[in-house]
Amino acid sequence: MTILSKDAPAEISHPAHPEHKLKLTAAGAAEFQCDVCKELGAGDRYMCRPCDFDLHSDCALAEATLAHPLLKGRELQLRYGDDGGRTCGACGGKVLGLHYHCAAKKGMDLHPCCAALPLAIPQEELTLELRKEASHRCSSCRERGRGRTWFYRSTCKTVYLHVACVREIARRSRAAGDGSSTDPFASVKDAALQIYRAKRDESELERVILELVLGG
């Protein structure tokens, strides 16, 4: 779910695969599993075709340290391996490989792809802003904080989406073969807009939510 910079190098060397250089490859909407963080991904990636090695661009280009705007005063270190039983503070998913870790008192772990999520997803009628927590139910799954994982909240405070639900909406869109847009958040924007407009009609809102939950 990353929009690569035009300055992204066409070829890199990476310590996770020192045998060969990795080439930036346009792969459409086909899903793959990153061989370093073990998370699913889609779209452009760094690859070694002879070795069938795939790497998220976010993992390939991850800096050794991270200062995230939502984690002021904390510095996260890039680590390899799962360290056992850790979860991502943004999406709540298990940490299975490469991740950012903060050893501060409360601790924090982030998948590189979650660490790279945009702080805002703008569109014409409403903008979604990334927040560490929200008191409302998620507009998609209808659950509350999920262990205080991160949310996207619309600036008008009518749409709330877990980061995990944002990722799932995008994944379902890819699985359905909706690759018409180059914007990885197009399906998320569409879902948020449907929820926003349906807020005026409870029966319509329930229909939209049911479609999001069931992937219909």
Tell me the average confidence (pLDDT) per consecutive run of 10 residues in the chain, 216 residues long. 64 94 84 93 90 94 94 91 83 94 84 95 90 84 74 90 91 68 80 79 58 56
86 to each of 23, 39, 98, 114, how far by Cα in Å? 31, 14, 12, 15
Residue 207: the pLDDT is 60
Calculate the CA dihedral of residues 90, 188, 171, 101 and round it to 10 degrees.
-20
Residue 75: the pLDDT is 92
Give the residue from 202, 122, 125, 118 showing the smallest Cα distance to 167. Answer: 118
In angstroms, the CA 47 to CA 50 distance is: 9
User: Is the Cβ–Cβ distance between 151 and 160 less than 8 Å?
Assistant: yes
Predicted confidence (pLDDT) per residue in 140-154, tens digit: 888 876 556 899 999
Provide the β-strand partners of residue 162: 151
Residue 6: the pLDDT is 53
Q: In what order do the strands lie in the sheet with 151-154?
A: 120-122, 127-131, 151-154, 160-162
* Residue 20 tokens, joined: 């060969």
Give the residue from 109, 116, 150 showing the smallest Cα distance to 130. Answer: 150
Count CB neighbours of 147 within 10 A: 9
pTM for this predicted structure:
0.84
Residue 107: the pLDDT is 79
Q: Where are the domains of the chain?
A: 11-60, 120-214
Q: If you ran DSSP here, which 8-state letter would residue 87 be given? A: B
Residue 190: the pLDDT is 86
